[in-house]
A and B are shown apart, each in its own frame.
Chain A
């Protein structure tokens, strides 16, 4: 059982660093951090005033037009866009939707998709999880910070937090629901073979 747990943990946690390493995307992280303001939600946008004024002009009430279409709502919209992408489980297990190409790196599959069951189990058992409060708090703070700018690639800093949840989900499930754990593990190993192979094959063409 121990060997199986270790195998499952390795298969679950290796995909994201391996994808980053093979795609050389990690080299961009430094550049992105240097250009933080350029990628931030506060960065000026030539089109923004035009979009805002077009929308405002439609309203009969100027007050209503201003309430829902102003600089703040524009920036808030960017923030929400980043925030909801970061908190979306599909981002981590499926590279968003398979037919959705947002940007190259966002489509990296960060964890094998079968591992979503371990993640969900960790959330389900969160009360029994020592240190869960701290991990959730760290996740939220980092999410808010990442949402202030283009989180692409930089979101790797969430890896330790998510890995913590994954490990907890794997160990809890193996102890509390061993049959279910065996089933999920079997599926994980089965599906991990093509998923890992694709990381090696797919990278040069991204």
Chain B
């Protein structure tokens, strides 16, 4: 009976993690960000036509906003659409699903890698609990971010790798998962090769032994074959688009003194010095307690209001756990994996210019959870036995407080304060437009946003027709031509900037944010306000207005 207790506790923790991620999934964050909508609609387009929005047959990376989205997440959405429909819930579901699956996987990895002489159940359970309630991991489990799915594939690949050290045929499964991790998210293009190199260096004797040799070769071949589509476009501007625009090496380094042209300029503004310093600064910022426990991610979509990526009470356990992990060599393979993940994970993020981006460094949440749990266990061991019961109760109280804190930030404050960042309002705009005169054309302003993906998504516009009526590049230039056509035709709806003079001559509906269609513009151009869609805090999000050509013809002083 006793041996089932860990399983029971693991089930409870997984259920807790599931509830935290599933509660109002698809509703909060309020709104649907343009990337989410684009992924959802491209999946819908693949389902209906086998082609993406540009008519490309089963793309290797998705062109989208010329940001070339990774394909795995989009292909994962495809089979969900017939089940759940094309909804916000559907596009966030894969992230949620793999986020929850990561919880028992962490348990299994820690148990598998812990030395047999160490009673490992408490490490496994506590690390799983820390991950289950982690704001960092929860956030990406509630929203459409490819990084979460990629993290699961990376971890399962690593898990099968370790199993394969005893059962060599599992190397093939490990290779399969490693191969699909690379196209699952951009940062894995750095993390996976480095992880593989480290694993090979550490276990090359086993991998090249008589029992493993052929499976290693088969695994390698399978990995290369599965990576062939990705390798075939590796040198195209599309594949390199993200890295080229974000990396710190190809732009003026931070700290460059543009005003200084003195004799020591080659030293004062030395690129080698500034760039290397910036890289180190970025790299160490991922270990910074200030970023982890206080500031969090600066991006409003990658953070919850009033909550950092981890809880501030975890700070002392993080510091002590980090120290213990460094000095406790008895953890053997587990220590190797956690330290490797900890050191590798920030690398792809550290070569991009953003100060602390939790999306690109998500893999770090795994060693971080283990480190915090290690810190908790080691500090608990200092507590005299007579105080241990009360400290357990206190810890339970802290967990409950943290969960309520998570609810407060992730659900209540997030919905209210972060709605604009999540492009709240387009569903309502589409619903409202469907109730208006269907004969009149509609112009949706795109001066400050790219709402076409949301309009396609919420109207469930026929992908075949959309592909026919819009053109951006020839199929042969799909991965190489980065030019964009920002004018989109979605039936009677045209997405483009409002041109005030010519647009007033036609009777039509105009849609735009409060800056595009201000009250002043409405008055000056005799526009009739049809509806004003507001954010949850009551501020205007979008306005739908109708033009009045007759009145403009009579009164327009420009005429």
Contact = CB atoms under 8 A, between A and B. Distances in A.
B290 A90 contact: yes
Interface stretch (B28-36, B69-77, B261-269): B261-269
Interface stretch (B50-58, B279-287, B521-529): B279-287
B518 interface: no
Chain A, interface size: which category?
35 or more
27 contacts: A59-B408, A64-B408, A77-B306, A84-B293, A87-B289, A87-B290, A88-B289, A90-B281, A93-B284, A94-B277, A94-B280, A94-B284, A97-B285, A97-B355, A99-B355, A100-B355, A116-B280, A116-B284, A191-B276, A191-B277, A194-B267, A195-B273, A195-B277, A197-B264, A198-B255, A201-B260, A202-B257
A124 B326 contact: yes
A205 interface: yes
A90 B268 contact: no
Interface string A58-72: 110000100110000
B281 A201 contact: no
Contact of A58 (B282, B284, B416): B416
B244 interface: no
Interface string A175-206: 00000000000000001011101100110010
Highest count of chain A CB atoms <10 Å: which of B257, B277, B315, B353: B277
A139 B231 CA distance: 52
Interface of A: 55, 58-59, 64, 67-68, 77, 80-81, 84-85, 87-91, 93-94, 97-100, 113, 116, 123-124, 126-127, 191, 193-195, 197-198, 201-202, 205
Q: Size band of the B side of the interface?
A: 35 or more
Contacts of A127: 327
Nearest to B407: A64
A107 B362 CA distance: 28
Contact of A98 (B277, B287, B294): B277
Given A55-B413, A191-B277, A197-B268, A98 B290 contact: no
Interface string B203-229: 000000000000000000000000000
A84 B262 contact: no
Q: Which 9 A-B residue pairings sit nearest by Cβ, starting from the closest? A: A98-B254, A84-B294, A88-B290, A94-B281, A84-B290, A97-B355, A194-B273, A194-B267, A58-B416
A58 B278 contact: no
Contacts of B294: 80-81, 84-85
From A88, A97, A193, name the one whose CB has the most chain B CB atoms within 10 angstroms.
A97
Interface string B530-543: 00000000000000
Nearest to A123: B323
B270 interface: yes
A149 B280 CA distance: 29
B355 A85 contact: no
